[in-house]
């Protein structure tokens, strides 16, 4: 019986980062790579997921955030600041404004009734270099009401480094 329970729960417990999308868009002919959505933080009321996208050599950090409250908006050009383990600061900018909605910050069923955002931040070359070699210690997101920040602890601090490595390896193997 213990073995049966182990093998039933193993796929749930061992969720590995992976490339979820690797395709050529049939209309634009752009090569699109995306990693799986992974928890960045799910403690202290700060529930976030991230994934990395690469579309025609441009990198993006896709970000889902479930927040407390009602409908709110984050304007285009809003900032996300990441404090890295070497105390450097990486600043990313949203590509477009986003209005929160029920389920927008969720990945799957969990959190689908709460209000949240799905945001996309472009990663420039300087930020990419820093994100490739440093882990995230703290995150700050600017909103119209100020900012929200949260410490990133444990294995989640290296999440972006690992996702970028997946993208880099996939790009190298496609050459």
Burial 109-134 (b: 16+ CB within 10 A, else e): eebeebbbbbbebebeeebbebbeeb
Say if residues 74 and 98 touch (Cβ distance below 8 Å).
Answer: yes
Count of C-beta atoms within a 10 Å radius of residue 86: 10
pTM recorded for the entire structure: 0.85
Model pLDDT, residue 116: 84
- The number of CA neighbours under 13 Å toward the Cβ of 167 is 26
* CA gap 119, 105 in Å, rounded: 9
Extract the residue ranges of the chain whose pLDDT is less than 50: 1-14
pLDDT above 90 coverage of the chain, percent? 55
Please tell me the predicted confidence (pLDDT) of residue 5.
Answer: 41
DSSP 156: G
Retrieve residue 65's tokens. Answer: 């955030």
Residue 25 — φ and ψ, nearest 5°? -65, 130
Environment class of 93 (CB within 10 Å of its CB; exposed 0-12, middle 13-18, buried 19+): middle
pLDDT of 94: 93
CB-based contact 90:161 (threshold 8 Å): no
Is-contact 138 148, C-beta < 8 A?
no
């Amino acid at each position: 019986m213990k073995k049966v329970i182990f093998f039933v729960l193993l796929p749930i417990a061992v969720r590995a980062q992976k490339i979820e999308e690797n395709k050529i868009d049939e209309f634009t002919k752009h090569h699109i790579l995306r990693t799986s959505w992974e928890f960045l933080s799910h403690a202290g009321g700060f529930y976030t997921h991230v994934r990395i996208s690469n579309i025609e050599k441009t990198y993006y950090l896709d970000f889902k955030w479930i927040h407390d409250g009602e409908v709110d908006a984050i304007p285009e050009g809003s900032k996300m600041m990441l404090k890295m383990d070497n105390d450097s600061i990486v600043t990313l900018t949203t590509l477009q404004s986003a209005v929160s909605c029920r389920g927008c910050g969720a990945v799957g069923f969990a959190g689908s009734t709460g209000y949240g955002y799905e945001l996309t931040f472009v990663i420039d070359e300087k930020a990419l270099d820093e994100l490739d070699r440093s882990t995230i210690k703290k995150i700050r997101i600017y909103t119209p009401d100020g900012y929200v920040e949260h410490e990133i602890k444990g294995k989640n601090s290296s999440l972006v480094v690992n996702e970028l490595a997946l993208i880099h390896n996939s790009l190298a193997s496609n050459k």
